[in-house]
Amino acid sequence: MNESPTSTCRRLAAVIATIALGALAGCGNARVFSLDPGHIDPDVAGTAAAGMAGADVQLRRYSTGCDATTPEPLTAKVGDGMEFTADQLKALPSPCPESPNPGVEVQVERRSIIFDFSNVERVGVFPESEFEGYLLDISREDGPQLVLAVVDRQLTNVDVENEDLSYDYEHLEVNFAGATFDSDSFVKIDLFFAHVAPRTGNAE
């Protein structure tokens, strides 16, 4: 059944309100939370054509196996083309001795993140743990904010599902725990943005 524009906007507003309440309430030491993909109409959430253009992005590796992250992140400004090269990722220190650090290219596009493993030299497996993957922080002074992240199943051939993504307005975590990879592996994550009004007043 087709929804009217008003109904669609109300759904988007409700989801954004839920996000804001979650951010205010907090959740222990957790930095991010997951949304159930499908609650936001991509045509509405993606109305900001600029997406992440011009944003500063930091990329780290993190593992719960030793509760460690790479000490210094890779940094880049989002434009057109490759942001993090295979050589940069390969040189990024692994958080744990047993954690692989494959030479994967990470392309940060305006509305997507692509993990391209074509430069990987041999088959590998990310360790089984609660989290074994990559953290991306997105920062800029203003503009639309991240409200939805979804795995593109048509192009992705690695065992990464929507449930392996966690995110908030300026942060995305991609969990590769247990996933096998080789030079044919490819992961594309579609990102949707919306202008979110700043919160005012004091939270009770």
Digit-by-digit pLDDT tens for the chain (204 residues) are: 444 433 333 344 444 334 333 333 333 333 443 444 334 445 554 444 457 778 899 999 999 888 888 878 999 888 766 689 999 998 888 888 878 888 999 998 888 999 999 999 899 999 998 999 999 998 877 777 888 899 999 999 999 999 999 998 889 999 999 999 999 999 999 998 887 655 444 544
> Are the beta carbons of 156 and 176 closer than 8 angstroms?
no
Give the SS3 label for residue 174.
strand
By residue range, what is the domain housing residue 10? 5-194
Query: SS3 letters for 7-45?
Result: HHHHHHHHHHHHHHHHHHHCCCCCCCECCCCCCCCHHHH
The answer to whether position 171 is within a domain reads: yes
Give the burial string for 96-125 (b: 16+ CB within 10 Å, else e): beebbebbbbbbbbbbbbbbbbeebeeeee
The answer to whether position 145 is within a domain reads: yes
* DSSP, res 152: -
- Token readout for 68 is 């460690």
Q: How many domains are there within the chain?
A: 1
The answer to whether position 202 is within a domain reads: no
The answer to whether position 201 is within a domain reads: no
> Are the beta carbons of 115 and 157 closer than 8 angstroms?
no
Distance CA 132, CA 96 (A): 10
Q: How many CB atoms lie within 10 A of CB 173?
A: 20
**pTM for the full predicted model:** 0.74
The answer to whether position 199 is within a domain reads: no
The answer to whether position 90 is within a domain reads: yes
The answer to whether position 200 is within a domain reads: no
The answer to whether position 25 is within a domain reads: yes
**Among 78, 66, 65, CA closest to 111:** 78
The number of angstroms, rounded, from the C-alpha of 153 to the middle of its chain's C-alpha atoms is 15
